[in-house]
A = this chain, B = another copy of it.
């Protein structure tokens, strides 16, 4: 076993008994060479440690095999989870995922897109910051790079959008909460993205169609530290007795997690049925929602489907040359997850 390092394809060609252009073909698609040749190459690769220089490989390509994945806030396990799903599918499809987090910061998001552009990725899956996004910069980016938006939509930006059907999912939980107790009050902070707005509107619509009066508690807070906002504003709202009903529907689970902490601290027992002072529900089925005390009733976003469809859509887009005939929007329905909190 001669472990002497092979420096380039030329040398590998020499020891494998195959020409360099054939090696080039092999590395770009092992299936494109005859089986006997493939075996010769693989045999040589077993013996000698060689991997192609990816920089040389990519410099003359118009497109690389990279796929960029950009999420707004990775410290939110929801995005970590969806990122993981997307990564896995990209790898399976022979692409190289590169994961980035904007960390809630507009400049960071712009910088990421800037770096991504020079990676010449085959495509990008982008969950934009939303309201804080620099729309023009994202638009410009999408002109150059095939991009599918997910989670948070920006009208007419990117070639497609995949997300949740907030109207359906909020309708679902509003109906459930109204049917089983006092109608819910909607608890929200200033919206970071269109989902928040859609959820509020969906809540109002759902309440009205049930003949109920909508109640929205809008609290202060900014940034992506939703739990903190839910907690501190929850303490304030509860202290000031500003809860119109004993049922709160939070704009998302992270806010609900904060509110649960506030309720606990203020001595309000959260849950449904006799002996409970408050019902709290969320939205998203955040990975931690199963482990709150009490466990959080919520609506599950179908991450797996969102991830799968986003990737699928991107791959179709890539195959068809990067431009969609028309911008497709795919929304997945949520599922009610009944736990102990409401």
Q: A74-B84, A75-B80, A80-B75 are in contact. Are A227 and B51 (CB under 8 A)?
A: no
Question: CA A101 – CA B257 in complex, angstroms?
Answer: 26
A338 to chain B, nearest CB (A): 15
From A111-119, A130-138, A318-326, the one touching the partner chain is A111-119
Copies of this subunit? 2
Question: Is A264 on the interface with B (CB-CB < 8 A)?
Answer: yes
Question: CA A80 – CA B265 in complex, angstroms?
Answer: 28
A135 to chain B, nearest CB (A): 19
From A165-173, A182-190, A292-300, the one touching the partner chain is A292-300
Minimal Cβ-Cβ distance residue in B for A51: B118
Question: CA A138 – CA B291 in complex, angstroms?
Answer: 34
Question: Is A77 on the interface with B (CB-CB < 8 A)?
Answer: yes
Q: Contact at B75–A75, with CB atoms within 8 Å?
A: no
Which chain B residues lie closer than 8 Å to A178 at the CB level?
none
Q: Contact at B55–A288, with CB atoms within 8 Å?
A: no
Q: Contact at A293–B74, with CB atoms within 8 Å?
A: no
Question: CA A77 – CA B91 in complex, angstroms?
Answer: 23
Which chain B residues lie closer than 8 Å to A96 at the CB level?
115
Question: CA A150 – CA B59 in complex, angstroms?
Answer: 34
Question: Is A58 on the interface with B (CB-CB < 8 A)?
Answer: yes
- Interface 1/0s, chain A 109-130, versus B by CB < 8 A? 0010011011110000000000
Which chain B residues lie closer than 8 Å to A334 at the CB level?
none
Question: Is A100 on the interface with B (CB-CB < 8 A)?
Answer: yes
Which chain B residues lie closer than 8 Å to A57 at the CB level?
55
Contact of A293 among B83, B117, B261 (CB under 8 A): B261
- Interface 1/0s, chain A 142-153, versus B by CB < 8 A? 000000000000
Which chain B residues lie closer than 8 Å to A103 at the CB level?
84
Question: Is A163 on the interface with B (CB-CB < 8 A)?
Answer: no
Question: CA A84 – CA B81 in complex, angstroms?
Answer: 17
Q: Contact at A101–B84, with CB atoms within 8 Å?
A: yes
Q: Contact at B257–A288, with CB atoms within 8 Å?
A: yes
- Give the 3 A-B CB pairs with smallest separation, nearest first: A264-B293, A55-B59, A75-B80
A to B CB contacts below 8 Å, 11 in the list: A51-B118, A52-B118, A55-B120, A59-B59, A75-B80, A98-B98, A99-B101, A261-B290, A261-B292, A265-B294, A292-B293
Interface residues of A (CB under 8 A from B): 51-59, 74-77, 80-81, 83-84, 87, 91, 96, 98-101, 103, 111, 114-115, 117-120, 227-228, 230-231, 257-258, 260-261, 263-265, 287-288, 290-295, 340
